[in-house]
Chains A and B, each alone.
Chain A
């Protein structure tokens, strides 16, 4: 296992914003990318774990699986009026089973900055480097 702590970050895109997760496995990187997605909207530290939602998705490759995962979260946010701060991911080949935990959006407490329209395939990359660190990233349209 590489000696890094899983983490997320944002990167620049002229119109929108890039989300990037880093981890010791594909699953960890996907969890961190989801955290980065939430951080586009609000500070994840403001979120309380009140309810969980399970999703499953499939895709032809790792990169499209990341897009499918993030779009599943965006869809649940939009249709449930919720925002999620904790994620778990289990992958078997190109199938992902995920769970997200969060709460209904509270505009006073969460101060949500922007609604995410979609995860895009711009700057899309899922890869493991020579040290074993996985990166999962793409630009999201806001």
Chain B
């Protein structure tokens, strides 16, 4: 990216002054090195988002931003309903409510290490992943409607997990305002056998070791200790969310003209929040958010069952579950006034600071856990939301390493078998139904996640709490 188009406000804050259709500035939070490495398309997309009706303060890009669909991946933008603001299907994306859930196992690395290969094999057998996989539940139409309203709470009622889990899930596991009637029959059909499946692509299940603690007080509140083993699950709303994205992108494109919206790029398809279409999309998207939380709850149950076979004394407790592809109605302070805003986070994690009423009581004094996935061969991080971050980008932070190479280029450079063997040489056991899928997800195809989280911390978006090293990776 050409830095001449940006003005540098600090080592990790870069502004794009409004021009053309932009109503607000673009603000990129990243180190100079990360900004230089970003595709020019990121800036173009930041500028396009800045031109949407009703946008408030700025169009933001996180340190892991890369070329997405309409919005950059790693994009954050908030809209005011009173100011004619919009909701964008493109701004949420096709993988609605994709997110990360991390479970503590209470086991040390020394306890897990002797059984690690057996654990990898058992998890690979137990958790359906990859193309064509089906979950442990076939949903009837009525069950799916209940799931879309009940989220993770529905899963718990059905015997997947514990009621205590709900306390440490975003929205306590249930997104209010879901409307199953706003979800097409095609979307529902696509989901009926997919509950409890991981999916493919960048989705994964990892067993990880806590290898470094950066903020001991917060880590203690999160009950994270060095040398302990955790499990992280990265996936979303599966076929339901994919089809809702497809359906509403088409409807929003068709109706944009009627609402007087002149789109600079079709992927920015959106509708006024107070329009019928906008409200229908919100209802459908929230149904998909519930589906995603229900899905991760079922997968967590499968993980617990597997651990109980190999480590009968282990008790897996939920650290947190947070999504990174959403639009949520939230209250934020803007120019000294509290305002209700619809905050789009596309490839960006909500990162509320200490004291926020939406946080579980157990974490409220410390800030929200922010779960950041890296690549198979590097590391993942647990961050904490900060007070400063609330004023930066509406309480948002990064979501992962972000790709640096396309899938096409990755398969040109690496072979799946060689990647699996190389990772095994570094003590990371990979299990996947597809070697080509592994090649596409090779660690070298991702940015340095350490540089990304360092930039997030330096920019004040979130604070580093712990670094996690992968031990086992189940890839779809």
| Residues of chain A having any CB pair with chain B under 8 Å | 10-17, 41, 60, 64, 67-68, 71, 75, 78-79, 81, 104-105, 107, 111-115, 117-122, 124, 139, 141-142
Contacts and interface: CB of A to CB of B under 8 A. Distances in A.
B69 interface: yes
B201 A79 contact: no
Given A114-B437, A118-B94, A120-B69, A12 B408 contact: yes
Given A16-B407, A75-B190, A113-B434, 12 more contacts: A14-B66, A14-B405, A14-B406, A75-B186, A104-B132, A105-B132, A111-B433, A112-B131, A113-B131, A121-B267, A122-B69, A142-B200
Contacts of A121: 69, 249, 253, 266-267, 269
A7 B440 CA distance: 23
B57 interface: no
B95 interface: yes
A79 B68 CA distance: 26
Contacts, number: 115
B162 interface: no
26 contacts: A12-B406, A14-B403, A15-B66, A15-B73, A16-B406, A41-B131, A81-B134, A105-B131, A107-B130, A107-B131, A111-B434, A113-B131, A113-B440, A114-B200, A114-B476, A117-B95, A118-B243, A118-B245, A119-B246, A120-B69, A120-B249, A121-B253, A139-B69, A141-B69, A141-B95, A142-B407
A15 B407 CA distance: 7
A118 B436 contact: no
B245 to A, nearest CB: 6
Interface string B26-58: 000000000000010100000000000000000
A16 B202 CA distance: 10
A122 B433 contact: no
A68 B251 CA distance: 12
B85 interface: no
A114 B242 CA distance: 14
B406 A115 contact: no
B408 A11 contact: yes
Contacts of A111: 433-436
A85 to B, nearest CB: 15
B438 to A, nearest CB: 9
Contact of B189 (A10, A79, A107, A142): A79
Contacts of B67: 13-15
Interface string B86-104: 0000000111000000000
Contacts of A112: 130-132, 200, 433-434, 437
B201 A114 contact: yes
Contacts of A142: 200-201, 407
Given A79-B189, A112-B131, A13 B406 contact: yes
Interface string B240-276: 0011011001100110000000000011010000000
B309 interface: no
Contacts of A119: 246
B254 A60 contact: yes
B239 interface: yes
Nearest to B406: A12
Contact of A117 (B242, B406, B408, B409): B242
Contacts of A115: 130-131, 199-201, 476
A81 B254 CA distance: 30
A132 to B, nearest CB: 27
B410 to A, nearest CB: 10
Question: Which among A68, A113, A115, A121 has the greatest number of chain B C-beta atoms within 10 A?
Answer: A113
Contact of B409 (A12, A16, A122, A141): A12
A82 B162 CA distance: 36
Contacts of B242: 78, 117-118, 141
B76 to A, nearest CB: 17
A23 B253 CA distance: 28
Question: Which among B199, B254, B269, B407 has the greatest number of chain A C-beta atoms within 10 A?
Answer: B407
